[in-house]
Chains A and B, each alone.
Chain A
Amino acid sequence: MTSWSSHLIKTSVILAAVVTLAISVTGGTYALWHAQVSLPGAVITAGHASLNIDGPYGLGSEQLYPGQTASAPFAVTNTGTVPLALRVDSLTGPDEQAPLDQQDFTRSLTVHIWAHTGEGCTTAPSELGWSGAVGSFSEKLVIVVDKGMTQPMCLAATLDTQAPATVQGVSLDLQLTVGGVQQ
């Protein structure tokens, strides 16, 4: 055994003896007061994350020609109890079984999503927004919506200048999934 270890053991023994002796000499009894009370009706509720999308409205009534952009407002409301950062989870169109003209139309579209700044949705899409082709996934938006708050948004669709003539008069529905990540 080393001298250091030996010294450590000695010190520990002395300290233990001192503590024991101090407790012993104080005397008296050691009865403890004890009381108990129940809190009536105490309920703990977990928070939750929830989003609601309202719109976009009116986009389908605007006809897109090559090189043109149609836009419409929509709103995202954080109906949960935690702040949420928005992102575009997915943007999908008709599947491979759909008619070719619908698939051509889908491939010719670029979609823009950005926060409504009060300038209206006909202005150029914000650089802070999201732009992508149909089929894009999981792109962040630089937007955080606090609990209980509604974020006005804009969505625009641009038809490529070289969109084939076969897409003339075609209508279809895209499915936009907006995700919210707890902050």
Chain B
Amino acid sequence: MIISPRSSSTRTLVVISLSLSVILLLTGTGVATARWIIAAITTVPVTAGELTTEVTGTVGLDALDISNDQYTTPATLTFYNSSTVSVHYTWEFSFSSGTLDPATIALTVWEPTGTSCPTTVPDTGTFAGTLAAPPSLPATAISGQSGMVVCAATRFLGSIAEVAGGSLTTTPTVTADLTTGTWTATVSGDSFTHTIASDPLSP
């Protein structure tokens, strides 16, 4: 068969037209493009923890006739972390009544070797400060649901004669915090009072 150039181009046109028709037909039907989609819902409860702490034993710092030559009998303070994560402790003091200068009352703290405090202040391993500028508490991180025992003793730093009969009532505030973030828990301990003996010669 002799194929003229014109008949060849006509066949090409026919083939292209048929191809386009098939493509358009398949595209237009949209066959096999539909899919089922289903969904199910559930509730996810979430709860944030909360820092909580307790402090006991501060009332043991009550001191009648505090002297400037020896410490009071050490008191046993317990800081209990009732949260479920480790915390660090800091503290500060507020003063509700009395005339004594908080800066004249020395405060020394330390961790006992056992669970109770000795009867005297040890020579080493203590942290010293005053009620105006409290000493740091031991830096140990206290695990959740556990406590830390700290011994504390006070001593007057000024002249007894100048403040005879004076007193100062102090309330400790303890703060537990995490090593990161801004979460804290604050609790107040029992107040304690220091008194200076009255001058026996005063009228």
Contacts and interface: CB of A to CB of B under 8 A. Distances in A.
B46 A60 contact: yes
A48 to B, nearest CB: 8
A179 B39 contact: yes
A66 B46 contact: no
B40 interface: yes
Contacts of A168: 48-51, 183
B184 interface: yes
A164 B181 CA distance: 8
Q: How large is the interface on B (under 10, 10 to 19, 20 to 34, 35 or more residues)?
A: 20 to 34
A178 B85 CA distance: 33
A161 B181 contact: yes
Nearest to B7: A4
B48 A162 contact: no
B46 A50 contact: no
Interface in B153-190: 178, 180-184
Interface in A125-183: 155, 157, 159, 161-165, 167-182
Nearest to A62: B47
Given A2-B7, A49-B37, A66 B181 contact: yes
Contacts of B49: 63-65, 68, 168-169
10 contacts: A48-B36, A49-B37, A50-B38, A59-B44, A65-B178, A66-B178, A157-B44, A165-B181, A174-B44, A180-B37
